[in-house]
Amino acid sequence: MSTDRTVADRGSALPSGLGRVYPMGSDLGPGGGLRIAGCDTRELVREFGTPAYVYAEDDLRARARATRDAFAARTDRFEVLYASKAFPATAALRIFAEEGLSVDCASGGELHLALNAGFDPERIYLHGNNKSEAELEQAVESGVGHVIVDSFDEIDRLDRVAAGSGQRIMMRVTPGIEPETHKAIRTGQEDSKFGIPMREVERALERIGRSGLELRGLHAHIGSQVFDLDVYESLADVLRQIGDYPLLNLGGGFAIAYTREDRPPPAEEYAEAMLAHAPEGVTVLCEPGRSLVGNAGISLYTVGTVKQIPGVRTYVAVDGGMADNIRPMLYGAVYEADVVDRFGDSTPCRIVGKHCESGDVLISEATLEDPRPGDIVAVPATGAYGHAMASNYNALPRPPVVFCRDGDARLVVRRETYDDLTRRDV
């Protein structure tokens, strides 16, 4: 579709601070409506309905380039992996493959999607704390460049499956470093289901030494939404004590702006921190997910009811909720929202979904400008782990994904239908 706006139409800037939260190039059109990459959100809703995930395609590319450029300006020895769990849509995977990124897959399903999207198997890194024999076979057979071994059992399993083929591996360790972030997205502490604890590293190296696997490097991912850059320096310090290997993967976790108050460090600062304590001659890998896709996407909803409880609060109910964005309920993620053609904050309210759970609260303390039934509400910064974690709770069909670019919108994932809900019945 092409919206009523041409690229030449002049829009006005979003209210202060929101430029950081909405996709690059978002603005208010001549009629005052929110536009994503030149597409009027009201037009998008007319064509694709709500709820819907809407992305600015160029923003995805720009973030991939900015991350690569940040490393390239400092070293030739680096590799940027897209952590595909954040948004494993084929269209996004294709974009990142085109932009020259490698990819982190955390399951056989994600591996299937990455191969299907055209990633060179050499550039695929297979993660996961409990890979099945079938997943390991799939990796070996499809020529995956590196498998990140996560446990002793897995070393045994992969050794059996790879049968002396010299499959290249990296070893994931839990370095005992805890960044300040929600405990559900903290992964570097010793008490973790992920990776080999530091105190077991020697025994793991010895086991790998007796295998037919080729250990190419070390890996650690200490958590997500990490603002504190020093932890990446400490991480490199810890890992370099283990030994010299060609590859050093310091994980993802680059923070993004979920609200206008958030000030995530730019990619340059993450690159600087990751490279600062890395040993000379080592190739440094990073694997961001949310920072490549989170702010490139928004969710659009339609308001159904506005319930005022005098002296208590105002509930604004939208036509989605925990099935299309579980993050607020899973780990208290905080978002902002706006009525797409009435920006402002006159009305404190709680934005809730339509699911049969009192906990179905998308934004606990929101402000909207005089919200009314029929309004279209945008929640920015939902580009990561929204679509990826979506479910069919209450038999809601999952939303479509729409990519916008230069005033044109294209559907890249269609909305589910009621027929899809019974498709797997036997």
Ligand X SMILES: Cc1ncc(COP(=O)(O)O)c(C=O)c1O
- Just list the catalytic residues: 356
For the window 380-409, what string marks contact with ligand X as x by the rule CB under 6 A?
A: ----x-------------------------
In the region spanning residues 183 to 222, those forming contacts with ligand X, defined by CB under 6 A, are 187, 221
Question: Smaller CB distance to ligand X: residue 5 or 20?
Answer: 20
**289 is a contact residue toward ligand X (CB under 6 A):** yes
**Which stretch in 22-30, 44-52, 203-211, 284-292 sits in contact with ligand X by CB under 6 A?**
284-292
In the region spanning residues 232 to 271, those forming contacts with ligand X, defined by CB under 6 A, are 251-254
Supply the minimum distance, in Å, between the C-beta of residue 149 and ligand X: 13
**104 is a contact residue toward ligand X (CB under 6 A):** yes
**127 is a contact residue toward ligand X (CB under 6 A):** yes
For the window 64-103, what string marks contact with ligand X as x by the rule CB under 6 A?
A: -------------------x--x-----------------
Question: Smaller CB distance to ligand X: residue 104 or 272?
Answer: 104
Handedness of CA 41, 113, 320, 288 (dihedral sign): negative
Binding-residue total with ligand X (CB under 6 A): 17
Question: Binder to ligand X among 123, 157, 168, 290 (CB under 6 A)?
Answer: 290
Question: Smaller CB distance to ligand X: residue 78 or 254?
Answer: 254
- 67-72 long-range CB contacts below 8 Å, 24 or more apart? 67/254, 67/267, 67/271, 67/286, 67/288, 67/291, 67/292, 68/99, 68/100, 68/101, 69/267, 70/266, 70/267, 70/268, 70/270, 70/271, 71/271, 71/275, 71/284, 71/286
Supply the minimum distance, in Å, between the C-beta of residue 281 and ligand X: 24
**Which stretch in 134-142, 287-295, 344-352, 415-423 sits in contact with ligand X by CB under 6 A?**
287-295
Please answer whether residues 140 and 164 qualify as being in contact, where contact means their C-beta atoms are separated by less than 8 angstroms.
no
Looking at residue 44, its amino acid is L
Supply the minimum distance, in Å, between the C-beta of residue 334 and ligand X: 16
**179 is a contact residue toward ligand X (CB under 6 A):** no
Question: Smaller CB distance to ligand X: residue 106 or 322?
Answer: 106
Question: Binder to ligand X among 107, 167, 224, 295 (CB under 6 A)?
Answer: 224
Q: Is 92 left (phi over 0), alpha (psi -120 to 50) or beta?
A: alpha
- Would you tell me which residues interact with ligand X (CB under 6 A)? 83, 86, 104, 127, 187, 221, 224, 251-254, 287-291, 384
